[in-house]
Structure formats: C-alpha cells, structure tokens
C-alpha cells in the first residue's frame, strides 16, 4: 500500500490514515494531527468534550498498522506510579538482603512503539511528574533501575483542555510540553446536516476490509521525515513564522520551535518531498495554542511563500552569475566579450523580470547595478580594443604615406624623369586628401606622427618646387 500521497497536491494527511478513518465525520483535523504525529514520531493530545470519538478514531487509525498493537492504558485518581511502569517487582521487594522497590517495565508502555493513554491527566500529580521525567530522559529512571523507552508516539485522550491541565503546576505544564501536537476535538457545527452525515457514515457505509501498512513502512516514513532538508532560506522563514506566532500570543519556546521543525519535516515527508517548502509550515497550527492564531499563521505563510520564492529565484540568479564567473575583468578577445555581453544582457532581463518584496528590493537593485556596471566595462573594453586596432591601422598607413611622401620629395629634388612635377603634384594631392580625412577619427596617440606627415606633405620642399 502507498504510504504517501500524490506529491502534486499538498496534504497533511497520510492516505492510509484517511482510509482507515473514513467513517468519522468532521475528522479532517484529527487525520492531519495523527498523520503528522506518527510521521514525526511526536506525542499528541486529543482533548475536548466526550462523545466525539477520540478513542475510537485512534484505535481505527492505529489499527491500520497490521503488525503492531498499541499499548492502551486508562488513568484516574487511583493510578499509581507502580501501575504506570508495569507494577511492582515483588521478587526484588522480597529479597532477604538488598530488597528494593523496582518495577516491571517490560509490562508497561515502554517496549511498545505506540501507546494510547486514556484520561491521562486525571492521574495524580506524582504519576504525571514521573512520566515527564521518563519522556524527557527517554528511559525509566528508578534509582539503580533503568529501562530504555522504545515508544515512538504517545497519544493522550482527555476531556480536559491542555490549558486547564497546565494550571496543575510547573511540573504538569512541563509534561504538556512533551506533547507538542495538540488538537481540541469537536464539531464545527451541530446542525441537522451534520447528524445526517453521521448517520449515513455508520449506517449506509459499505464496510470493506481496510488496507493496512506495516510498522516497517511507518519506520521508513519516519526516517524520510528526519532526512528532509530545510534550506537556510526556509530556516529564516520559519523563524519569522515563530515570531509571528509569539506576537499573536502563542508562547513558542525554543524547545517548541525545534519540535516545529519536526512537524515541517513530517509535512514534507507526507507529501513525498525531501525538501521543506513554506506550505509545510501549515503543520505548525497543531502546536500548543497555535490554533487561535491560525489566520495570522496562514497569512504569514502566504506572504513568506511569495517572498521565499522570489528570494530563491534571486539567489539562483546570483549563484549562476557567480558560477559562470561573469562579473570579472573583460577578455582581450572582443568576440569573447560580445558573447559574455549577450549572456549578461539575458541575466539583466531576468533580473528585471523578478518581482520581489520590499525587503529584497535593495538586493535586487544591487544585482542589476552590478550587471549593468559589468556590461559597461565589457563594452568599454571592446571599444578600446577596436580603437587600438584602428590606431595600429592608422599608424601603419601614416608610415606608408610618410615613406611615399619622402620618396616623392626625393624624386623632385633629384629631377627623376620617371616622376614629373605634374604627376608628383597629383600624387601629393591624393595623399593630402587621405591625410585630411584621417584627421576626424585620428587616434590621440598618433598626433605627433600625423603632424610629421602633414609637415612632410605641406613642407618647404613642396613650396620651393612650386608644388
């Protein structure tokens, strides 16, 4: 049986939990809470008025695990610490020497993966205090007697509210914190249609044999949840969610904040993902007292999801630029520079298309400025390369003109019959026109050479010869 839902839709409910509890009405929140608790391996409290099927729901959901039976224990004012831990070990108590009070932990909840405690908080304070110590240490500590706790999940069903229970004192309040998933079980409405749906669910239902999962499948799912990664961006987002909850009056302690990350990981694992996303933070509504801040929580999740997506896109663009090493010095090859300019232009277009929040605007503005500034450097470099090429071309041509002019002057001075004055005059006029045209885009480094050429063409020798 598939133990994870279709990842195309975000869900907080395991498919097998939904199937096993299909006959329960108005139970979606119970399904979510149980799915998160068993995936994360966290303890849970179902509280609320009697008659709403808390215990029946739990037994149906746990019953879908084919190879494990839950340890079920009912509590009351007469419950003792000895009873909690499997009763007294009379052999140890009746020893002739070294008699001691020890328990039979192998007969208690400690060896069981799942335990259901009915009306746990009706037990005396000393029992609850002892349980708190065991849950904290993950083992029974009774003097010299120690016994490891293998329980992965305890579900406490009670008619009392956690807030009412916590008023029993700091030790009891500390025990409540060991049950980070809390849900008040009641119907949202009690109208005719609600009871009609209830009757239909128990009377008209085709009772098919429920599908099951094995404990190994559950353990594999829990391992996947532990391996879900929470990126630095997501960590900052979760910190903001915690602060928002605290501002709404939800007392999220550092311990609870850490447990919240387990809920987030569980939500990701339920959706068959290896990385947490903002929507997974919706699981934090099951933290103690968070239900009263549900609207604020969902709003900040929506806002942060938009911001996180924008920040991820911005970071991806920054990293891609960094990996390509484009924000560096230009090449001496203009073709390479043109290729990089095209790439930078594409990055700049992507940056312009990003829609970010006010907090990210300075960062995006800085990135666009870096790209624009680098593009300008590359353009200027190519201009300089082109100018340098032009300079060399002009230099070579000026040298050629200078040499040719010198030959023409030498021919005039020697009365070379192959160079008549008219022919020489025409050639010098042609050279003069070419040199004149070069003046308007002459490279600055060639000023001295240019003046030398002009002087040679228009110098005294031509004047003296009447050219």
Give the pLDDT band of residue 384 (cuts 50, 70, 90).
confident
Give the pLDDT band of residue 134 (cuts 50, 70, 90).
very high
Per-residue pLDDT tens over the stretch 170-203: 878 888 888 999 999 998 898 999 888 888 887 7
The pLDDT of residue 417 is 66
Highest-confidence segment of 23-27, 142-146, 224-228: 224-228
Distances (CA, A) of 194 to 183, 188, 190, 205: 20, 9, 6, 16
Give the pLDDT band of residue 354 (cuts 50, 70, 90).
confident
Per-residue pLDDT tens over the stretch 261-294: 999 999 999 999 999 999 999 999 999 888 888 8
State the pTM of this model: 0.70
Per-residue pLDDT tens over the stretch 81-111: 999 999 988 887 777 777 788 899 999 999 9
The pLDDT of residue 2 is 45
Q: How far apart are CA 114 and CA 64, in angstroms?
A: 13
């Amino acid at each position: 049986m598939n133990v994870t839902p279709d990842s195309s839709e975000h869900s907080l409910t395991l498919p097998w939990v939904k199937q096993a509890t299909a006959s329960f009405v108005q139970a979606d929140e119970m399904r979510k809470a149980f799915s998160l608790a068993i995936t994360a391996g966290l303890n849970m409290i179902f509280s609320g008025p009697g008659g709403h099927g808390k215990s029946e729901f739990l037994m149906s959901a746990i019953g879908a695990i084919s190879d494990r039976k839950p340890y079920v224990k009912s509590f009351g004012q007469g419950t003792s610490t000895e009873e909690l831990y499997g009763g007294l070990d009379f052999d140890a108590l009746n020893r002739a020497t070294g008699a001691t009070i020890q328990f039979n932990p192998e007969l208690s909840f400690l060896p069981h993966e799942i335990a259901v405690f009915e009306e746990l908080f009706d037990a005396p304070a000393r029992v609850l205090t002892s349980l708190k110590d065991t849950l904290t240490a993950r083992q029974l500590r009774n003097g010299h007697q120690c016994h490891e706790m293998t329980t992965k999940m305890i579900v406490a069903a009670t008619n009392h509210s956690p807030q009412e229970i916590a008023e029993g004192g700091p030790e009891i309040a500390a025990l409540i914190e060991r049950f980070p998933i809390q849900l008040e079980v009641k119907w949202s409405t009690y109208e005719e249609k609600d009871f009609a749906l209830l009757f239909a669910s128990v009377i008209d239902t085709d009772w098919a044999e429920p599908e099951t999962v094995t404990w190994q499948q559950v353990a594999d799912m829990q391992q996947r949840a532990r391996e879900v990664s929470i990126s630095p961006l997501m960590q900052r987002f979760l910190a903001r969610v915690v602060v928002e909850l605290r501002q709404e009056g939800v007392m999220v302690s550092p311990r609870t904040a850490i447990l919240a990350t387990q809920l987030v990981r569980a939500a990701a694992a339920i959706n068959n993902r290896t990385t947490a996303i903002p929507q997974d933070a919706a699981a934090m509504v099951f933290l103690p007292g968070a239900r009263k801040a549900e609207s604020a929580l969902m709003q900040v999740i929506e806002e942060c999801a938009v911001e996180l997506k924008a920040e991820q896109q911005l970071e991806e663009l920054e990293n891609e630029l960094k990996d390509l090493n484009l924000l560096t010095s230009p090449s001496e090859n203009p073709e390479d520079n043109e290729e990089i300019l095209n790439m930078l232009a594409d990055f700049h277009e992507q940056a312009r298309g990003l829609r970010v929040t006010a907090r990210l605007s300075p960062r995006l503005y800085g990135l666009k400025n870096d790209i624009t500034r680098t593009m300008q450097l590359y353009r200027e470099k190519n201009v300089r390369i082109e100018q340098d090429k032009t300079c060399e071309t002009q230099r070579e041509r000026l040298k050629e003109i200078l040499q040719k002019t010198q030959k023409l002057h030498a021919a005039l001075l020697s009365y070379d019959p192959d160079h008549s004055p008219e022919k020489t005059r025409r050639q010098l006029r042609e050279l003069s026109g070419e040199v004149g045209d070069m003046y308007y885009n002459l490279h600055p480094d060639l000023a001295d050479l240019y003046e030398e050429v002009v002087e040679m063409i228009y110098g005294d020798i031509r004047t003296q010869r009447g050219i």
